[in-house]
Amino acid sequence: MTMMERDIPCAPAAVPAGLADAVAGYRWARDQVGESGGAVYRLSGKADAPDLFLKHRQGSVADDIVDEMVRLRWLAGKVPVPRLVGFVATADDAWLLTTALAGETAWQLLDRAPEQREPVVDALAALLQQLHAVPVAACPFDSGFERRLWLARQRIDAGLVDADDFDEQRAGWSAEQVWDALQRHRPLTPDPVVTHGDFSLDNILLREGRVTGCIDLGRVGVADRYQDLAILSANLAEFDDALPQRLFARYGIDTIDTAKVEAHLLLDELF
């Protein structure tokens, strides 16, 4: 999907007074990827001003914006992330305004330039090493397996899991079948690091082969390192079966824990 296909021009959305000046003078387009129950807008075309992204969520998913905002502020200076421009929350709504990172997503680059796939994997592995080197003791957010398992149970009980979006190998499964399969992987011996939580190819931006940063930070927290490795390796396998092995090798893992990979992919289905 090209950037033009991702973004559909639209009229400016209504924003709180506290954000009105910051978004004035921009062209608006609605981003078709990664909305996850809310609206995402790309703001561009303002002279001598950076492009921006505006996220808006309401009701039960408004807290997701709060989660992302606090993590964005905490990560600044530790790994490359967008700059926070503005944030407003009310009882029922939340808005998050950030700068747009330069470049294209890792998914777009891998799809557009097959000859760059190995260097891109190396760049992604280096970014993971940088993130996972952030001291665990300094991180105030818990995204561990048991914590996310508890959250997954709440989502199942609330009917929020989209079984139609499960990966191909679990097509036709119910959320309860995924839950039962997860129980067979417990307990997992944790190897805690600071993780992104959804380290997918759509959430990493690159320009001229160099990582410019990561986005969608609402799940950042201390978890097993395979939380990130599992999601990224599964994404890479969609392009070439050899790429996941290269990822683990460049990251520094010689023997892949396939049970942990499977457990974290099962867990991710429920979010």
The fraction of the chain above a pLDDT of 90, given in percent, is: 91
3-state secondary structure of 109: helix
Residues 6 or more apart in contact with residue 143 via CB below 8 angstroms: 195, 197, 219, 220, 221, 222, 223, 227
The helices-and-strands tally (H runs, E runs) of the chain is 10, 11
- Tell me if residue 191 is catalytic: no
Write the pLDDT tens digit of every residue in 82-91: 999 999 999 8
- The alpha carbon of residue 61 and the mean position of all alpha carbons in its chain are separated, in whole angstroms, by 16
Residues 6 or more apart in contact with residue 118 via CB below 8 angstroms: 243, 246
Positions in the chain short of pLDDT 70: 1-5, 33-37
Q: Rounded to two decimals, what is the model's pTM?
A: 0.92
Phi-psi category of 103—alpha, beta or left, where left has phi over 0 and alpha has psi -120 to 50? left
Given this model, what pLDDT does residue 181 score? 97
Write the pLDDT tens digit of every residue in 51-66: 999 999 998 789 999 9
Pick the CATH number of 3-99 from 3.40.30.10, 3.40.50.300, 3.30.200.20, 3.40.1260.10: 3.30.200.20
Residues 6 or more apart in contact with residue 196 via CB below 8 angstroms: 131, 203, 214, 217, 219, 220, 228
Q: Is the peptide bond before 187 cis (omega within 30 degrees of 0)?
A: yes
Domain range summary for the chain, segments of one domain joined by +: 3-99, 104-269
Instruction: Give the architecture-level CATH label for domain 104-269.
Output: Alpha-Beta Complex (3.90)
Given this model, what pLDDT does residue 32 score? 76
Given this model, what pLDDT does residue 209 score? 87
Given this model, what pLDDT does residue 1 score? 44
**Cα separation of 215 and 99, whole Å?**
11
Measured from the Cβ of residue 133, the count of other Cβ atoms closer than 10 Å reads 11
**Cα separation of 210 and 228, whole Å?**
19
Which one from 198, 224, 228, 257 is the annotated catalytic residue?
A: 198
Q: How far is CA 146 from CA 149, 189, 222, 267, in A?
A: 5, 11, 11, 10
